[in-house]
Amino acid sequence: MKTTMSSKGQIVLPAQLRHDDHLKAGDEFEIERLDAGEYRLVRRRAIPNHGLVDWLLACPEKGFFVPIESESTDDL
């Protein structure tokens, strides 16, 4: 497939790739320069439950979620 870089340096992934890989706006990628003119683009996967604690702490019903302290597994 072919794509073109815009004057702002943006590259659009073709619609077929976005559809096949279930890509959506806001997805993050890492780009690595392999050599002059050669690059590798890798989709960064979101960390499961990332931001869950912040979301729970923002719950409108105060006291719904209270973080608890726990022991380190290093001591086990």
> Residue 57: pLDDT band by 50, 70, 90 thresholds?
confident
Reading the block at residue 30, the tokens are: 């890492």
**pLDDT, tens digit, 9 for 90 and up, residues 35-52:** 999 999 999 887 677 778
Has residue 1 got a pLDDT over 80?
Answer: yes
Torsion of CA 21, 15, 11, 26, to 10 degrees: -50
Q: How far is 72 from 28, CA to CA, in rounded Å?
A: 32
